[in-house]
A and B are shown apart, each in its own frame.
Chain A
Amino acid sequence: MQFTPQRLGPGAIYLRSLDRFFRSNGDLIKVAEIEPQILWTKGTAKGARPAGSPAERRHLANLPQHVLTHGVGYPIGGTVCDQTEHIAEFDRWNRELGVAWTSEHLSILQVRNGSAVQSCGFLMPPIQTEAGVRLAARNIMERRAALGLPFAFETGVNYFALGDYEMPDGEFFAAVAEEADCGILLDLTNLWINEKNGRASIRDILGRLPLDRVWELHLAGIEMERGYWVDAHSREIDPELADLTAEIIPNLPNLGAIIFELAPDRVASFGERAYLHEIETLHRLWDRVAPTEAATPVSGGRRTDSHPRYINPTPAQWERVLMRRMVPEAFQSEAETSYMPLKSTDEERFSLYCHLAGSFRSGALAELLGNTIRLLLLASGKEALQRLIDGYIATTPPVAFPTDEAVQFRRFLEAHPLPVPGLGDMLAFEGALLEAAVNNTTVRTVLSKDIDTMLADVAAGRLPGPSSDRPATVLEIGVDPAPFIRFAQVELSRAV
């Protein structure tokens, strides 16, 4: 491989809510790293493929920054690794945005469940064995060929303790990079978290990595959850991590970008001044990058040695364990059996993973069915709502797209009706919004309450009362060419 990344500079993960901010700070934010999949929608029809909007691509192509793409949702660490379904759309985004390289996670999101494929609901770590190296390298080479772009994998967070059957982290990352002959997106936050949680020393990892393959750094804020440091992208970069990064950067001859990451659910509480402060931190770090003329092409040498000590378990065995622990029992194929004995610490970490995955599932409901959730809160109280959500999560499988989660929750509520005034109307309204948005169709829904009065009641912390009752009205909702909601005058048929 002879790819040498251009020195793009400091940047950040692009979010729609930050669009104006990125455009007005092009002098400071040099790189916009776009995660295309967070901008895509997936229709509700079975087999619908996620896709983005051509208009949004054109809008993004006018950003003042250099653009890179970072894949989410199709990681390259497991036996289930999509090389077809999303490729055409991803390729379209890469070409139209003119990206120099792209990246994805060295992680697992989907696993086999009998003859089906099932989402774990959370990015899970791969098994660090020889077979794990070969699997990841094969996935990377296929993805790179499919996209026709230089490719880097992201070093992930791993909340498990290192198993005695596993290669050390640095050795594993190095082996994958050399076997696949690819770049490394070094997420120093992830590695720092791993160190703080007692998994592996970051200096030991860096000592084993081919540092000339590091094209990009990710940095983010972390937080404590259930006794573990987690990769929450929640706040400013910790000064200790910034100091460590400053120490490391001069040793990265082919570094092309440093990216600050802030999660969408944390933007509201972060603020512009704090964000700009982080970008200034990145600039100070970027000043430590070696001069351009010192950059050296990565050697084309491929990995020749292997480590026969790290043979078992196989990736398939590990993924069966993931399926057993991350998917509710009622949805597990009976044909699947687990072959790996787990330690009590592993079980404890699986509990953490399930807790974090649950937060994404309930978060999707709060974001997409926010008024339904608030209505349930008003009617039943916080504890009862939490029990309802816990029961839902425990009895339904995780899904990849939040819209699928919302559809699934709507079905759950319809199957378990609750005596909450206005719940049916609110669920019908929010469900129709989603259907219109993801299917790009005009949706009609019949309501027996005044939706604005109901929304005002819920916002004010009141349960909808008789004042919101109305004769049946039909709302027509669509998003093309621009979002609209209007009353429709139609003829309905109803049972009398």
Chain B
Amino acid sequence: MATANKPVTVRVPGNMNLEQAKNVLASVLGKVGHPACYSGFNISFVNAVDPSPLVLNVEHGSFNVKEG
């Protein structure tokens, strides 16, 4: 098998958008700090694998949460 490196030009696709990718970036940005100070069970993984128990109760739009 040949292993020579060849330049390949990658062009910007015209029929793809990045809206969902931008949402993921925005979500990650708020979560990269040190864990908060509590000594209990973190439910983030449980919610990720079984989101059904997560009940949203967002009122007046003040809580900036989008999960559910």
Contacts and interface: CB of A to CB of B under 8 A. Distances in A.
Interface string A450-486: 1111011001000000000011111101010001111
B18 A365 contact: no
Given A470-B13, A472-B8, A363 B32 contact: no
B65 A366 contact: no
A70 B5 CA distance: 53
A176 interface: no
B8 A494 contact: yes
Interface string B13-29: 10011111110111111
Contact of A359 (B12, B31, B36, B41): B41
Q: Chain B interface mostly helix, strand, loop or mixed?
A: loop
Nearest to A370: B48
A359 B45 contact: yes
Contact of A268 (B21, B25, B65): B65
A37 B22 contact: no
Contacts of B6: 493-494, 496
B8 to A, nearest CB: 5
Contacts of A171: none
Interface residues of B, number: 58
Interface string A356-374: 1001101111111011011
Interface residues on A, range: 35 or more
B16 to A, nearest CB: 5
Contacts of A374: 48
A27 to B, nearest CB: 14
A220 B57 contact: no
A271 interface: yes
Interface string A31-62: 00001011111000000001000000000000
Interface in A222-271: 222-223, 225, 230-234, 261, 263-271
B41 A232 contact: yes
Contacts of B32: 41, 368, 402-403, 434, 437-438
A488 B9 CA distance: 10
Contacts of B47: 265, 366
Contacts of B44: 265, 362-364, 366-367
Contact of B39 (A157, A355, A367, A496): A157
Interface stretch (A10-18, A133-141, A278-286): A10-18
A72 to B, nearest CB: 4
Nearest to A103: B37
B50 A382 contact: yes
Contacts of B7: 491-493
A160 interface: no
A400 interface: yes
A105 interface: yes
A122 interface: yes
Contacts of A455: 20-21, 24
A360 B35 contact: yes
- Across chains A and B, which 7 residue pairs bring their CB atoms closest together, nearest first? A232-B40, A271-B57, A363-B42, A363-B44, A362-B45, A366-B48, A37-B34
Given A272-B57, A479-B29, 6 more contacts: A234-B43, A261-B38, A268-B54, A359-B41, A363-B45, A496-B6
